[in-house]
Amino acid sequence: MIKAVRGTRDIFPPSSAVWNHVETVARQVFRAYNYGEIRTPIFELTELFARGVGSDTDIVSKEMYTWDDRDGTSLTLRPECTASVIRACIEHRLDQLPGLKKFFYLGPMFRRERPQKGRFRQFSQIGAEVIGSESPVIDAELIELVLELLIRCGVDVPHLLLNSVGCPLCRPAFIEKLRQRLQEVKSGMCEDCRRRAETNPLRVLDCKVPEDQPIIDRLPSILDHLGPECATHFAAVRELLDARDIRYEIRPRLVRGLDYYTKTTFEVVHGALGAQNSVLGGGRYDGLAESLGSRVPLPGIGFSIGEDRLVMTIEEQLDAASLSPLDLYVVPMGPEAVRHAALLARELRRAGVVVEVSTDAKVKRAMELANKLNARFALLLGDNEIAAGVYALKDMAAAAQRNVTREELFAALIRR
């Protein structure tokens, strides 16, 4: 038997109804905030992610699916989408367009990491990018959008974590102090942290090894080393969130896992996911476009939601069956009723009613199936009902049955 590759999975109803619900809500929220959808290729030149994400990140050094094309070009399945969006903006000269560039995306990403609860090697992300402004107003509005999206999807009390990671002007002094401190404590840390202490000390703060956390908690804080511009920007973001009554927790060690972040970084976590409880993360990346070859500055900020993990947080809070309801289960009795049921079902479906027609000749078994399918109504259709133009409609939840005319049937179902 051939099985799905480890770290991938199949999604069936009714779980797929939750996915549809999440994506529908996301599109509605993005539209309200004037975002347009961008669709980038599912694979890119490996150089894009090595330069954009950072060669010393776990994503680039350990997790990417990379191969050589027939002409020797190194290609990679996208592990994230921000670098792709910026590449598209540079390639198509979107800096020439007026106003902000506000994009959202939905789709699969690929990382060869250890599968665990809510984490897969093929996973889906919902994300957004705002390009063209350094204003803290944009940071606060994006965070507001994130929380609005989660709440509308059904996430109960999302918890916002907030930090600033400075900029290329103030961060080098902090990194040097961090490097010096790590020389004193790295021997007691994991192998990755010992390596990062030399190659990229900031990445140590993103370590998830539980035994390393007490050491990391005692390391210097970036917030004590912000330059005047970064400190002012971070204070403005907090003031704008306070004005919106958005609660947050400042986490000085929150750096995220990618090299391109500057200034504002944030995560939203949820306890239902256990130890690895991040639902989404994001931040500002004002220098990313220049590092990818842009001739003009393209400051930006964005976020990405792990859709697999988001669905997990809301599946228990929502009744998946209610998101893809079966409005009517038609039980025809006899050959003429089968023909009549097909025409009736077609008209109801065209009116937006979800209809299933039974193929079981036994009425009792058909009604049992209607109950198992959580049908709202069942319609008994025989020769007598067709001749009289009056149908027997059963409310499955109330276990009550009444006779309705064709017009009454359409009115009742379409009104629901």
Fold of 325-415: Rossmann fold (3.40.50)
Instruction: Give the H/E segment covering residue 384.
Output: helix 383-388
- Specify the pLDDT at position 416: 62
- Specify the pLDDT at position 196: 86
| CB neighbour list of residue 76: distance below 8 Å, 6 or more residues apart | 43, 44, 45, 46, 48, 49, 64, 65, 66, 67
- Specify the pLDDT at position 277: 72
- Specify the pLDDT at position 387: 87
No. of helices (H) and no. of strands (E), the chain: 16, 16
CA nearest 262: which of 221, 301, 205? Answer: 301
Q: What is the average per-residue pLDDT within 157-180? A: 91
Q: What is the average per-residue pLDDT within 102-128? A: 92
The whole-angstrom separation of Cα 31 and Cα 316 is: 27
- Specify the pLDDT at position 275: 46
- Specify the pLDDT at position 350: 94
- What does the angle CA 302 – CA 201 – CA 180 come to, to the nearest 5 degrees? 140
CATH 3.40.50.800 residue ranges in the chain? 325-415
CATH 3.30.930.10 residue ranges in the chain? 15-170+226-315
Q: What is the pLDDT of residues 380-411, one digit of tens each?
A: 998 888 888 899 999 998 889 999 999 999 99
Place 92 in a pLDDT band, splitting at 50, 70 and 90. very high
Q: What is the average per-residue pLDDT within 192-203? A: 86
Residue 278 clears pLDDT 50, i.e. is over it: yes
Among residues of the chain, what percentage have pLDDT more than 70? Answer: 95
Fold of 15-170+226-315: BirA Bifunctional Protein; domain 2 (3.30.930)
- Specify the pLDDT at position 315: 82
Instruction: Tell which wins on pLDDT, 51 or 124.
Output: 124
Q: What is the average per-residue pLDDT within 261-289? A: 82
Residue 304 clears pLDDT 70, i.e. is over it: yes
Q: What is the pLDDT of residues 359-373, one digit of tens each?
A: 987 999 999 999 999
